[in-house]
Amino acid sequence: MTNRLKTYDFKNACLFTGVIFIICSALFALCGTFIVNSITQEQELELAELSEELKSQYEEHGLDWILDDLELDDRPIWGRNESLERLDEHDNLFKVVQANRLLLGSQLSFNADDNPTWQTISFDSPQQFDVLTIRIDLGDALHVTMLQPKSYESRFIAAAIWRLYFYFISLFVVFVVCTILFIQYQNQAKLSQTKKALIEIAKAPDSTRLPVPKRASCDRDIAESINAMLDAIADLHGNMKTMSVGIAHDLKTPLSRVANRLQSMQHDINDPNLIETHLNHASNDLSAVISTFNNLVRLNSIESGQHKEKFVKLNLSELIYDLALSYLPVFEDSGRILEISTVNDVICFGDADLLSQLICNLLENALEYSNNDAHVWVRLQSHTGSALLQIGDNGPGIAKIDQPHVFERFYRADISRSKPGNGLGLSIVKAICQVHDARLDLLPEQKGAVFNIEVPTSN
């Protein structure tokens, strides 16, 4: 687990740099061409203007004026060398021709067009000249041909752009490669830290967490969300553990009793009466195991939400009242008092079978755990948009330490698991509430166990 740069880091750096190089070159080429073009266009315009001016001068004042304008006193004839010198020094060269006779100017031959045109001419010398040429017809078989080399400005700027491009690119490529490698190195360092931390977490997933950077950053967000995910998984893991311990315990007790009964049957094989007693007990114990599994299956199916498809509008008041009424003699026989007070015609959207089980489980919880002479109540009141169902008793209630856990699967306040039941009743209640979007609370600071259920209504 090292934080050294990997081969793929170098590959990535080269790739990135290559892409950036291509983009920069293209930008340079685009900008350079644009700048140089605009300068040469300017030169063309100037030459065109000059030709117009010469024409009008000739019309008004004749040829001598033009000579003045071209800063010439006499009518010189330049040979090849003189012509090239002049081209170099004065940045222009011309000749005036009348009826194929050279009146003045360069003896060099070159063609030209009526519009300014760029040409590359060598004049039989090793040097190549990029020149702008124009032919100006003055009438009377007289014409002037001019040529101008590329302006100094344009040559300078083109050269400057090339030089800038060369220096910039060579420095820039080095800089980009280094920067990318540095960033990759830092990332590798962070990654290898995270990898190390994750390996530690794998060893103790419930307690170890990723270190969270103090400064707000993307790394902190990621560390926090990974930690939150780990917490959620640890909760699930905890539930699973409680559940498997619960299942193991709930299976072990009745199964070992069955095993004991089988042994006793072997012992009492000759006594039919005893055999029957053993058989009955063994059968009851196995029923308890099956009932635990049935409840687990039911709990899972409630949680999966498949019942929602069968939800209908139903009269919650009637359902609760009828059920509570059914339980009245059961409570009476056990010495407890059941008080029923429900408002009429609370309509909700739900599954009658599930809602019945919710009420049964809470009432049976009260039967199981309240004092022998307890006062137990079922109350239903309506609000706007919801109805509040309360099922409670006046003692002894649930110990504070157990209260946060009562809805967990297989959780039982009584550690010895001496009372019947499998610790799934209240988990089923919770699942039924969830599937009905109802809010379930165990009220704190009460004398007994008081459950509040707020059911959304559709009156």
Partner 1 sequence: MKVLIVEDDFDTADFIKRGLEQNGDVAHHVGTAQQGMILATSEEFDVIIFDRLLPNMDGIDAVRILRGSNVATPIIMLTALSETVDRVSGLDAGADDYLVKPFDFSELYARLKALTRRQPLKQEALSLSIGDLVLERTARKVSRRGQALDLNPKEYQILEYLMMNPGQLVTKTMLLEKVWGFNFDPKTSLVQTHVSRLRNKVDKPFETELIKTIRGSGYILSDHD
**What is the contact surface with partner 1 in residues (CB under 8 A)?**
280, 283-284, 290-291, 294, 297-298, 301, 306-307, 309-310, 325-327, 329-330, 333, 351-354, 356-357, 360-361, 364, 367-368, 420-421, 425
Report, in Å, the least distance between residue 370 CB and partner 1. Answer: 13
Show the DSSP H helices in 143-217 as ranges. Answer: 152-203
Report, in Å, the least distance between residue 387 CB and partner 1. Answer: 21
Residue 457 DSSP label = B
Instruction: Closer to partner 1 by CB, 226 or 314: give it.
Output: 314
Report, in Å, the least distance between residue 199 CB and partner 1. Answer: 43
Report, in Å, the least distance between residue 220 CB and partner 1. Answer: 46
Report, in Å, the least distance between residue 310 CB and partner 1. Answer: 6
Q: Looking at beta carbons, which pairs linking 326-329 to residues 24 or more positions away fall under 8 Å?
A: 327/360, 327/363
Q: Can you tell me whether residue 129 is helix, strand or coil?
A: strand
Residue 307 DSSP label = G
Report, in Å, the least distance between residue 12 CB and partner 1. Answer: 54
Instruction: Closer to partner 1 by CB, 108 or 358: give it.
Output: 358
- Give the span between the Cα atoms of 174 and 22, in whole angstroms: 15
* Residue 273 contacts residue 439 (beta carbons within 8 Å): no
Half-sphere exposure of 399 (CA within 13 A, CB side): 6
Instruction: Closer to partner 1 by CB, 104 or 426: give it.
Output: 426
Report, in Å, the least distance between residue 302 CB and partner 1. Answer: 9
Report, in Å, the least distance between residue 193 CB and partner 1. Answer: 49
Helix, strand, coil % over all residues of the chain, rounded to 5: 55, 15, 25
Phi, psi for 208 (deg, rounded to 5): -80, 145
- Give the span between the Cα atoms of 337 and 359, in whole angstroms: 17
The encoded tokens of residue 127 equal: 């040097």
Instruction: Closer to partner 1 by CB, 38 or 283: give it.
Output: 283
CA of residue 363 relative to chain centroid, distance: 48
Report, in Å, the least distance between residue 329 CB and partner 1. Answer: 5
Half-sphere exposure of 129 (CA within 13 A, CB side): 21
Report, in Å, the least distance between residue 391 CB and partner 1. Answer: 14
Instruction: Closer to partner 1 by CB, 209 or 436: give it.
Output: 436
Instruction: Closer to partner 1 by CB, 42 or 368: give it.
Output: 368
Instruction: Closer to partner 1 by CB, 230 or 302: give it.
Output: 302
* Residue 188 contacts residue 3 (beta carbons within 8 Å): yes
Instruction: Closer to partner 1 by CB, 72 or 255: give it.
Output: 255
Instruction: Closer to partner 1 by CB, 129 or 327: give it.
Output: 327
- Give the span between the Cα atoms of 182 and 161, in whole angstroms: 31
Alpha-carbon torsion (192, 194, 195, 199), positive or negative: positive
Instruction: Closer to partner 1 by CB, 360 or 388: give it.
Output: 360
Phi, psi for 317 (deg, rounded to 5): -60, -50
The DSSP-derived string for 409-451 is TT--SSTT--SSS-S-HHHHHHHHHHHTT-EEEE-SS-SS-EE
